[in-house]
Structures are given as structure tokens and as C-alpha cells.
Structure 1
């Protein structure tokens, strides 16, 4: 790629990604790395906010699917199992 990001930027990206992934141990590690790399509390808070914003659309999508499934509960029963993840 040819671009080398500094340690602070990498750690802040990691903070946002950790929040987006809901990874508790990752977040603790990345916040510590960001602080050690010179990030301010305000910069880390902004990275946290960006991670939260990245989750908004998927959360809205799954909520809409759940509402649709509940509205069509009887047809789901008539149809039988659609597979799933477990």
C-alpha cells in the first residue's frame, strides 16, 4: 500500500473498530495503546463515537427484520424451518 500510519492513528482506528465489533478486551487494549501513543481522551472519545455510528445501520436493519418476522409470524409457522444458524 505504501502508506504508513502513525501509531496513534492506528490505535484510534482500533478503538473505533473495537466499539463497532463490541469487543470488550479489544477496546481496553486499543484505548491503552492510543493513550500510550499520545492520543487525548477527546480523540479517543471521538473514535468511540465513530465506532458507535458505524453500528447504527446494521442495528436498524436487524430491528426492521425482527419487526417484519413478527408481523408475519403465522406464515413462518406455516412455512416451517428456513434453516438458520443453529
Structure 2
């Protein structure tokens, strides 16, 4: 099995450091990446790519939260539009159908 080169290891480390929001890790691995022979342009590209990957779940969480705040769409359980009176008089069996009904 071939081991990763020092350059490759630092690229992985930069991605992991950014993904985990670890400031001390970034402070350590940017100079280490330079020592391993990576240029500032290569380091910046790796950081930009890691940030793109990191933003995917953040954007999905934000989109989900925004969707849940739209009252006309409900929570997605399929019971949107039920009146508050029907919720107050529903049984525990009825509640199993969805949280909005």
C-alpha cells in the first residue's frame, strides 16, 4: 500500500481542519503545507474546496429551517392545514398521523 506524500497529507489535513472549524489546526497546517512544498495558490484552492464541501450540510440545514418557517407548507408530515380545534380534540392515535394534524 502506497503512503500519501507529505503534500497529500497536508491537503487532507487542511480539509479536515477547515471542516472541523479548528483555528489552531489551520494555524498549524498552513505553514506545514508550505514546508511540504505546496504553494499558497494550492493551499488557497484546497481551503476553498474544503469550504464548498463544508457548506453543503449548512445550506441544507438552512433550507430546511426556512421551509419549516413557511406556514403554508407545514412540516411535511402531510397534515398541514388542520385547525387548532381538531388538534385539541385529537387522540394519541390521531397524532401518530403527523405533527400538524
CA deviation map 1:38-74 (0-9, x unaligned): 11101101110111110221111110121133235xx
Task: State how 1:2-13 maps to structure 2 within 5 Å.
Answer: 2-13=1-12
Task: Give the superposed CA RMSD.
Answer: 2.1
For structure 1, the 5+ residue unaligned runs are 80-86
Q: Is 2:28 the counterpart of 1:29?
A: yes
Higher relative contact order (CA 8 A, sep 6+): 1
Task: State how 1:29-68 maps to structure 2 within 5 Å.
Answer: 29-68=28-67
Q: Which runs of 4+ in 1 moved over 6 A?
A: none
Partner residue, 2:80: none
- Larger relative helix fraction: 1
What SS does structure 1 have at the residue aligned with 2:38?
coil
Contact 1:18 1:51 (8 Å CA) reproduced: no
Which structure: larger Rg?
2
- 1: CA distance, partners of 2:41 / 2:61: 31
Please, what TM-score do these two structures have when normalized by structure 1?
0.73
